[in-house]
Amino acid sequence: MEHNFIDSKLLRKMLSSGLDELLSQKEYINNLNVFPVPDGDTGINMSLTLKGGIDSFMSADKVGVCLSKFAQGTLLAARGNSGVILSQFFKGFVKDTEGLDVFTIDSFIDAISNGRDKAYESVAKPVEGTILTLMRDASSFLLANRKDFVTFENLFSKLIKILNESLQNTPKLLPVLAESGVVDSGAAGFLAIFKGMAIALDDRILSSISDFDKTSQSSEAKLFDNLENNFGYCTEFILRLHNKEDFSLKSLTRFLESIGESVIAIQDEDVIKVHVHTHTPDNIVKHVQN
Amino acid sequence: MSFVIVPDTGCDLSKDLREQLGIEDYVRGIIYFSEDKEEFSSLDWEKMTPEEYYSSMRNLKNPYKTASTPMGEYVRVWTKYLEQGIDVLSISISSGLSTTFNEACIVARDLMEKYPGRIIRCVDSMRYSTSLALLVKLACDKRNSGATLEETVEFIEKSKGSIHQMGFMDDLNFLCKTGRISNFKAVMGSIVSVTPLADFNSRGMAEVIGKAKGRPAALRATIEYIKKTIINPEEQTIFVAHSLRKEWAEKLATSIEETFHPKEVILNDVGMTCGANIGPGLCCAFYMGNPISETMEEEKAILAKCIEETRQ
């Protein structure tokens, strides 16, 4: 079945599906978090923000009434940089929807545009290569092509492609992402929400977009490939032994080889010089301290 | 009172200090004691003592985790003042450590639309834990001397880059684990008998700028560093904070009193929110000094000299 309007029941289903998709990618999105502070909580923050809105979404008759509660819910629950910007997006999204019974394609596109405007307004120094860029690109694309959309399925099918391209482009706009070999975490969360909304409309939408899953996962793969191939941190230190009679260079080397590669361990009297490549340098330090 | 000063949970101000300063409320953060249960963090240790908190960390597979404050918390705290016609000066934990300041600005913009005529000014302290406590105290003193909201904001902006930290940490692994330090140098600081010494950099983060051999040497170097960087010590309140290092904190406090004769020295526990990221093993003094240089080359050189001069 194809839809040329969205009522409150379908809207709730779409937003809930957006949350489900976000939750399913929560850890992946957390791991992408390098900007502005690499505290690894973007996925959690965005899901809690969106959940706050959905929990407040009353299944009333009119879309406008539901959205008002939804936006208020996201505002109060919003946390973290991306969560707060997302809540501001939704604040703008609902701006002219008060009297709406249902979303038409036109009113939905206007809501996205209003969401983009409010999100940009709310940030003192907007940074491109972030969630803001996806909001901007979504809005620009929809406004430029609004006459081409006949159904919401058609709209979401094209929008998801655009959002994915925009996401893959974020490292080109924000150097810290390129240095870390990741896409922006907030932007990835925003795409996840719209993916989920698309699935609620018609779960065939995503499978119709060729190479979508490969490209969206390529950033994660790249991040972990780097760690797998280069074995993490180059770790070098000098160890002074309290009691060299109790020490076995062979045991130390065996331990280092079990958690790293490129191992060099040289003993000179009570001084040991160590070089190893490892993901977990702190485990090595703990081991030698004991 | 035309405006209130509202810090966030990163300020580590005890209940007594908050009462003395006239701080009625603060913006609470979120802390996870277990993976699936989040709670609002508190500055007042209702759940456990600082000793129990930091001791328990050693046995944890995963550290306690902190999370961003929900916007509703800002609304809760600030709205009660705005509705009384009182403006708000919000002082946030360092943007080098947290996105709290950005979020506070967005909430402030929203609430000022809802309460036209009211002002909310947000300041990024570029400091955290007891250094933020010192900045908040200085801001309160400024307000109490009759300064306006804007004058107090200007004072904070001018002063924050001159708030020093000097002291030591046993172990930087917690900062690594919680993502606050991604640089492997943090782990290297944990090698046996090397005691890292840190001051604040221009990004609002404590940066290791020297290493002493063991705590006694670190304490001596700390006093010498303070001597070379402090201004007007007799007029100051100097804080000494610790996380499970009370004995060393008391030694440091005594040494500061005997060397500098400040107005007062206040011993402080590192609070739950900052402590979740710092872990046990911190012992530092916080004071007003010369403005910290952009690259910290001056401070590194001063500390290197202090370590050399106090070597025994």
Is any Cβ of chain A less than 8 angstroms from the Cβ of B177?
Answer: yes
pLDDT, greater one: A241 or B210:
B210
Nearest to B179 among A40, A76, A282 (CB): A40
Give dist(CA B124, CA B127) in Å, integer.
8
Q: Which of A27, A72, A79, A117 to mutate to probe the B interface, most B CBs <10 Å?
A: A79
Residue B95 CB partners (closer than 8 Å, separation 6+)? A36, A37, B101, B102, B124, B126, B204
Find chain A residues with C-beta within 8 A of B98's C-beta: 37, 39
DSSP assignment of chain B equals --EEEEEBGGG---HHHHHHHT----B--EEEEETTEEEE--SS-SSS-HHHHHHHHTT-SS--EEEPPPHHHHHHHHHHHHTTT-EEEEEEPPTTT-SHHHHHHHHHHHHHHHSTT--EEEEE-S--THHHHHHHHHHHHHHHTT--HHHHHHHHHHHGGGEEEEEEES--HHHHHTTS--STHHHHTTSTTEEEEEEE-TTSSEEEEEEEESHHHHHHHHHHHHHHHBS-GGG-EEEEEESS-HHHHHHHHHHHHHHH--SEEEEEE--HHHHHHH-S-EEEEEEEBSPPPSS-HHHHHHHHHHHHHT--
Cβ distance B70 to A289 less than 8 Å, yes or no, reads no
Q: Is B260:B234 a contact under the CB 8 Å cutoff?
A: yes
Nearest to B68 among A45, A122, A233 (CB): A45
Q: Is A15:A59 a contact under the CB 8 Å cutoff?
A: no
pLDDT of residue A216: 41
Q: Is the pLDDT of residue B285 over 50?
A: yes
Is any Cβ of chain B less than 8 angstroms from the Cβ of A235?
Answer: yes
Is any Cβ of chain A less than 8 angstroms from the Cβ of B35?
Answer: no
ipTM score of the complex? Answer: 0.75
pLDDT of residue B174: 62
pLDDT bin (cut points 50, 70, 90) of residue B145 is very high
* Mode of pairing for the β-strands spanning B206-213 and A233-240: unpaired
pLDDT bin (cut points 50, 70, 90) of residue B178 is low
Nearest to B68 among A80, A235, A289 (CB): A80
pLDDT of residue A229: 41
Q: Is the pLDDT of residue B181 over 70?
A: no
Mean pLDDT, residues B151-175: 88
Q: Which residue of A has its CA nearest to B176?
A: A282
pLDDT bin (cut points 50, 70, 90) of residue B43 is very high
Cβ distance A45 to B67 less than 8 Å, yes or no, reads yes
pLDDT of residue A207: 72
Query: Per the structure block, which two tokens stand in for B274?
Result: 């900052």
Residue type at B175 in one-letter notation: L
pLDDT of residue B179: 54
Lowest mean pLDDT among B72-81, B204-213, B235-244: B204-213
pLDDT of residue A213: 45
pLDDT of residue B191: 52
Mean pLDDT, residues B15-22: 96
Is any Cβ of chain B less than 8 angstroms from the Cβ of A73?
Answer: no
Cβ distance A282 to B190 less than 8 Å, yes or no, reads yes
Mean pLDDT, residues B185-203: 72
Residue ranges in chain A whose pLDDT is less than 50: 211-230
Cβ distance B173 to A44 less than 8 Å, yes or no, reads no
Q: Is the pLDDT of residue B108 over 60?
A: yes
pLDDT of residue B61: 67
